[in-house]
Chain A
Amino acid sequence: MTSTNAELPLKHVPGHIQHDGHNLTGFIIFLCSESIIFLAFFIGYALLKITSPEWLPDGVEGLETRMPLINTVILVSSSFVAYFAERYLHKENLLGFRAMWLLTMAMGSYFVYGQYVEWSELKFGLGSGVFGGTFYLLTGFHGLHVITGILLMGLMLARSFRPNNYAKGDMGVTAVSLFWHFVDVIWIILYVLIYVWQRTS
């Protein structure tokens, strides 16, 4: 294992390892982890709903589903709009991208507004037993993610005005788009768990 002749020709090609370009991998791993916290909340919610001796608080007979359904349609559609925005970006149509992106943000903001209106009209609070606690925890936590998504989209929109922003690729937009789709899927599950499956006893 000692040193040999310094003039021997080297057989290897100096290897390189990419320093950057791993952002999307890291973000996807992060999203998988994040989905587990929602999964944990869903399972806890379902178990409490099934096993609790008393579910609905006094004076509450259930949840209204019409307005939440409208909110759901708008939020889920916004995912398609975001997809179109990405398509425009791939074709380097910055105007189209910004328009669709802004529309996505508007639809997301409407969802948040609709959620706020629904909350203000509810007759139970956070402390209204397991029903109230789980409702506000789940919808609140999700709402926080929607707001985060809108803020991130705003950041991407602002960055799109920087010259040569997409020289190294558009991983930021891809990641935020992925996050938005994730938030949508979570909402669909939430909607089914909370509004479609209603326990009346």
Chain B
Amino acid sequence: MTLTNYDPRVLKAPHPVPGAPDNWKRFFSFNTDAKVIGIQYIGLSLLFLLLGGLLAMVMRGELITPPADLVDPSVYNGLYTMHGTVMLFLFLFPVLNGFNNLLIPTMIGAPDMAFPKLNAAAFWLVPVFAVVLLSSFFVPGGPASSGWWSYPPMSIQNPLGHFINGEFLWILAVAISGVSSIMGAVNFVTTIIRMRAPGMGYFRMPVFVWTAWAAQTLQLIGLPALTGGAIMLLFDLSFGTSFFKPEGGGDPVLYQHFFWFYSHPAVYVMVLPVFGIFSELITVYSRKPLFGYKFVALASFIITFLGLIVWVHHMFYTGTPQWMRNLFMITTMLIAVPTGVKVFAWLGTLWGGKIRLTTPMLFVLGGLVNFIFGGITGVMLGTVPIDIHVGNTYFVVAHFHYIIFNTIGFGVFAGIYHWFPKFTGRMYYEGLGKVHFTLTFIGATLNWLPLHWAGLYGMPRRVASYDPEFALWNVIASIGAFMLGVASIPFILNIVSSWARGAKAPANPWRAIGLEWLLPSPPPAENFEDDIPTVISEPYGYGLGKPLVEDEDFYIRRSMEA
């Protein structure tokens, strides 16, 4: 029998159902429902986006004038290190795991993840390593201050000589984060392989599921290498070994190989799900099938494969031999091809569509424009002679922020708005969303576009002070950054007030095609429970007149009865 969200059995259930009134406490408990865990991840990560952003505000405050006059340079170094670490490990990876939790089971018709308890455990490790990482602000000597890369010998200098120091806590936090991520990755991959709805072969999965699978595969292969390098770094720091100390026969560049073998694929772990979000949203808001669905799906795994063999492009001038640089330049160039396939597919999807510029679509289109720009500067950085000049300058900072914030961040916002009605049961305020978009797009462009020129003219990165000729670019960038800070206000207002008192969301407010839209808003505890639909078409069948599942009307009616 169909279970609605307001059925007395559900209201009295020991594991509260999302959307049931007075159940906010479930978000603070060890709840094994993937939809609750998803919201836990996203909520927590947005808090850390604020923290990372706050750190950035101080950094841009320091950089608005050439001298280091706001904070002591040693403090600046700790701030920028923690800014990067918080943004990556406490915002980006958790928010994407949040999307995985919300979307993977519902998009494939599964009742939950393959290992619900493991799922909850993986989430609860996040506050644990957050505490470990943030406590480093309060130990003698302050937090880790060698950049989020933590290159030795700099990172193992330990000036004050204490056993428990900022760097130690940093390594510990990153290691715990790795454990949490691997737990998640095992879960996501097993779920996708084993728990799809009847009739959903691999080439009937939504692109988000493809990209999530491709991304989590990278996590499984890359994270252990980072963990290995981190363990060796920890031993060098605290137990007297010499893996990376030249005086003991070690090699600092070896660490760089360990680090980047994971951290380059890490950027694909972050961008692939956002490519998935772009694919999902462009089809809905153009009301057109995805142009070349199979190519787009397969390109995800080509990116996975190529992403594992490009890492030395972060080490072009650190003392690697010529043959290695040439080889990795070729592989780096190659990765532009499957990425281009996706971009052109999105453009093809826009062609002849009935485009609707809702807030999610604005973020997608803005993100796409930014991505094309960031991808082009990426190809420039992959060219060894150019990278020798602009590597480790603000050109790199501008490039990666164009990808991390102006593309991935935009994609995250787009996804939050698009699926907000589905998983909270409330509509968000569209006008406020458009204000958020406008401020964010202008702020992000002002913040990072000028910094490309600062880098080209020779301003190194990670500096607290700089020569006066770079002042103009930095003033514009800081204004953009402060604007981004202000832009968070309409976003927070929108999320909080919409969830508290927004209009009740129908099951399918966007008239989208997908299994998650055949569920009520919000979905019941086990999604389709005992009556999982049989999939009979490929996704995104807009205008093709074919139902997605057998007896589609039955499921539509069921979703509206909640």
Contact = CB atoms under 8 A, between A and B. Distances in A.
A54 interface: yes
Interface stretch (B14-22, B82-90, B110-118): B110-118
Nearest to B116: A19
A33 B218 CA distance: 10
Interface size of A as a range: 35 or more
B111 A17 contact: yes
B557 A37 contact: no
A129 B198 CA distance: 58
Interface in B23-44: none
B530 interface: yes
B114 A17 contact: no
Interface stretch (B124-132, B179-187, B329-337, B449-457): B179-187
Interface in A150-195: none
B241 A22 contact: no
Interface in A2-28: 3-4, 6, 8, 10-19, 22-23, 25-26
Interface string A31-63: 011111101110010011001111100000000
B553 interface: yes
Chain A interface, DSSP helix/strand/loop, else mixed: helix
Interface string B252-274: 00100010010000000000000
Interface stretch (A81-89, A108-116, A130-138): A130-138
A137 B553 CA distance: 61
Q: Which of B110, B223, B228, B531 has the most chain A CB within a 10 Å cutoff? A: B228
Contacts of A41: 228
A18 B195 contact: yes
A127 B250 contact: no
Given A25-B193, A44-B254, A33 B186 contact: yes
Nearest to B108: A17
Contacts, number: 151
B143 interface: no
Given A29-B220, A33-B186, A53 B249 contact: yes
A130 B247 CA distance: 10
A126 interface: yes
A17 to B, nearest CB: 5
A51 B556 CA distance: 65
A142 to B, nearest CB: 13
Interface string A118-153: 000000001101111110010001000000000000
Interface in B224-262: 224-225, 227-229, 231-232, 235-236, 239-243, 248-251, 254, 258, 261
Given A1-B511, A18-B195, 11 more contacts: A11-B550, A13-B534, A14-B531, A25-B193, A26-B114, A39-B224, A40-B228, A48-B249, A53-B249, A133-B235, A141-B231
**Which 10 A-B residue pairs are closest in the complex by CB-CB distance?**
A133-B241, A127-B240, A37-B224, A15-B532, A12-B550, A40-B228, A36-B224, A14-B531, A52-B249, A130-B249
29 contacts: A3-B556, A3-B557, A8-B553, A12-B534, A12-B549, A12-B550, A13-B534, A14-B530, A15-B528, A22-B190, A25-B114, A25-B190, A30-B182, A30-B186, A33-B220, A33-B221, A33-B223, A33-B224, A36-B224, A37-B224, A37-B227, A48-B250, A52-B250, A52-B251, A127-B241, A133-B242, A133-B243, A133-B248, A137-B232
